[in-house]
Amino acid sequence: MDSSFVRHAGAVVLLAIACCAAQWGGSGGVHAATGGSRVCGSLSRSAVWTRSGSPYSIDCNLRLPAGRTLTIRPGVTVLAETGVTFEVQGRLIAMGTASHPITFDCAPGCHMWSGLRFTPRADSRSSMGHTVIAHASLALSDPHFTIGELTFKQDRDGVKINPAGYANDVTPSLIESSTFSHISGVAIDLGSISSSTVAVTGVTVSDSGIGVLVHGTSPQVSSSTFTRNKIGLQIAGAGSDRTRVLSNSIVANRIGVVIEAEPDMLISANNIYGNHRFSVKVTESSDVLLAAPNNYWGAGIAGPGIPATMNACGFDPYVLAPCVIFKPYLTSPSSTAPTVPGH
């Protein structure tokens, strides 16, 4: 055989190996597998995951180290084994499209994977959009970016923002336009954030445990829908007393809003009706009145015959609170709150 041909063929093979290593992360990263790619360990270099390599199967804990970037293209599916965590120290770019979303889910036969965890000093330039995260014990932990156009379904918990999970108080300022369904625990968990306030707007939480849990911070929750949950919103703890709940539809939950904090907050322009036990339940004993004016409480109580005592401190079948001011009230659904189909 011609030796120059052998040398030429060997060069081609080495070039192909180098190319693939650059794309897939090299040893300890992504390896080709039948019908997709296998991922495990620490990505040794920046990488791009494409539809041609999908699905990417994570069969052990995966780490994106600091200084490296993983870009996931639209339409890619990532499948994790039971208990596996995807830890992000570097920069993750997972931007799907409406027609080709990115999906993170359990592999076939998997019970529940751990989810995506961003470390305290993870790259704040990370971004995610049009992405589905399903069947995780905690789908998204301590993200450093605006959360928008994400779908969470059948997770134990959805998004958790824990101040201990951030360095230099770099926290996301906005959770928007995202959908949470069949989350058995807490869909959005907002912990004590001293330097900034998180705004939650345009989200939908349904058929879940708690829609939004606020403890130790005072966010604004607006233009969102909470329906068929055990609790729509739960506001608890010191530092949560200035929460603003504005222009939401809180409908057909077991309890609409639970307040376990000093009720120096504003609940206004919402549709709060059809909740099975209480529309608003205040458990904190306080001399501070809860300001809940200009809400629509449903046709059953928002009529001319509403008892005068419902505007004072006391209890009634619809609003359980030591002191609630809910006059004036709306006699028809709020025009600024989302419409809930079937309600």
Which tens digit of pLDDT belongs to each residue from 65-85? 999 999 999 999 999 999 999
Which one has a higher pLDDT value, 93 or 275? 93
143 in the same domain as 183: no
Domains contained in the chain, number: 2
Flag whether 167 is in a domain.
no
The average pLDDT across 175-198 equals: 85
The average pLDDT across 187-214 equals: 87
Flag whether 23 is in a domain.
no
The average pLDDT across 203-219 equals: 94
Whole-structure pTM value: 0.85
Flag whether 21 is in a domain.
no
Flag whether 58 is in a domain.
yes
Flag whether 19 is in a domain.
no
pLDDT tens across 287-329, in order?
Answer: 667 888 899 988 755 433 343 333 334 444 444 444 677 778 8
336 in the same domain as 225: yes
241 in the same domain as 325: yes
The predicted pLDDT at position 197 comes to: 67
223 in the same domain as 187: yes
- Tell me the residue range of the domain where 302 lies: 173-343
The predicted pLDDT at position 220 comes to: 93
178 in the same domain as 139: no
At residue 56, does pLDDT exceed 60?
Answer: yes
The predicted pLDDT at position 17 comes to: 35
Residues with Cβ within 8 Å of residue 6, at least 6 apart in sequence: none
Flag whether 52 is in a domain.
yes
305 in the same domain as 184: yes
At residue 257, does pLDDT exceed 60?
Answer: yes
343 in the same domain as 218: yes
The predicted pLDDT at position 305 comes to: 37
The predicted pLDDT at position 172 comes to: 66
242 in the same domain as 314: yes
119 in the same domain as 41: yes
pLDDT tens across 266-290, in order?
Answer: 999 999 988 888 888 877 665 667 8
Strand order in the sheet with 174-176: 147-148, 174-176, 199-201, 220-222, 244-246, 266-268, 290-291, 324-325
Flag whether 8 is in a domain.
no
Mean of per-residue pLDDT scores for the chain: 82
183 in the same domain as 129: no
262 in the same domain as 188: yes
107 in the same domain as 197: no
